[in-house]
Structure 1
Amino acid sequence: MSETAAARKSEAKRRSKFLVIVDDTEEVRVAVRYATRRARNLRCGVVMLRVIEPVDFQQWAGVAEIMREEAHDAAEALLQKLAEQVNQESGIMPELMIREGMAREEILKLIEEEPDIRMLVLAAAPNAEAPGPLVTAFAQMAGTLKFPITLIPGHLSDEQIDRLT
C-alpha cells in the first residue's frame, strides 16, 4: 500500500464513529464503555445521542414547555456525566447530541446525516423478556442499515467488557 493510500485509510478510520444511544436504563453504561473501548483501540470517535420524546400536553402549552426544558436539562446533565467518564477512562471526548422526536426516527435521521457513523452500539436489557424497544426495532432493521449493529449483553462487568475489546 502506498504512503498516500495508508494516510487516507488512517484518516478515514479516525473519522469513523461509533454511535451509542443514551437513555435512562442501567445497561447504557455497558454500551458506552464498550463503544469507548473499541473506539480507543481503533482510533475512532464516539457519538452519544439522547432522544427526548415529545410530551402531549396541547391544552397546557406552558406545562409542556416546562417539561420539555426539564427533559432537555436532564439529558444534557446525563450526557455531560457520561462524557466526563469516557474522557477519564479513554482520553476520548465524545460528540454529544440531543434530539427531540421519536427515538427510532431520530436515530435513523442522524445515521443518514452523519456518514462517518460506522457502527451502532446497543446494550440489551438483562433479565428481561424482551431486550428493549430499540434493540428489538433495530434488530428487525439490521439488514437495511449501512453498517453493523453491535449488541452487548447489559449485565456485563467492566472487566468482561474490557476483555471483549
Structure 2
Amino acid sequence: MQKRVLAAGDMVDSQCTRCKALLNHTIIAMVDGQVVRVKCNTCGSEHNHRPAKEPKVAAAKAPKAAKEAKTPRARSVKAPAISDEAVWEEMIRPLDPDLAVPYSMEGKFRANTLLTHPTFGIGVIASSQAGKIEVVFKEGRKLLRSAC
C-alpha cells in the first residue's frame, strides 16, 4: 500500500489550538515534505500543525511482591501510634460523664473538662486557644470554635 504524499491544500487531522480537539485542517504551508502550518476547517484559525499524538503503551508492571523483593527499604522503627479512641478512653476514665457541659460556640471552656456535642457525643477538651478548643472524641480529635 502506497503512502500518499501530502501537498498544500490537502486535508489533514491536527490538534486545533482554539477548538481544543483533533479536527480536519487544510494544509497551508509545508517545509521539506513536512506539514508546518494548517487552517482549521471548523473555526478558521491558523496555527502550527500539531499531529495526533500516538497513544502511549503502558509498560508491563511487575508483581508487587517481586518489586518489594528487589528494592529492600530501610524502615524506621516507630512506636505504635496510639489511636484517638484509646486516648479518649484514658482521658474520660477519671471524669464523671454526668458533669459534661453542653457545647456552644459562645461558651468558654477549660482543658481537661467533659463536653457533650450534639453530633460527636461526649469528648474531653485537650487544649484551648484563642477562639478554638481541641476536643478528643471517640471518633477522633476535632477543632471547635469557642469564645475562649
TM-score range relative to shorter protein:
under 0.3
Task: Please give the TM-score of this superposition, normalised by the length of structure 2.
Answer: 0.18
Task: Please give the TM-score of this superposition, normalised by the length of structure 1.
Answer: 0.17
Which protein is richer in strand relative to its size? 2
Which protein is richer in helix relative to its size? 1
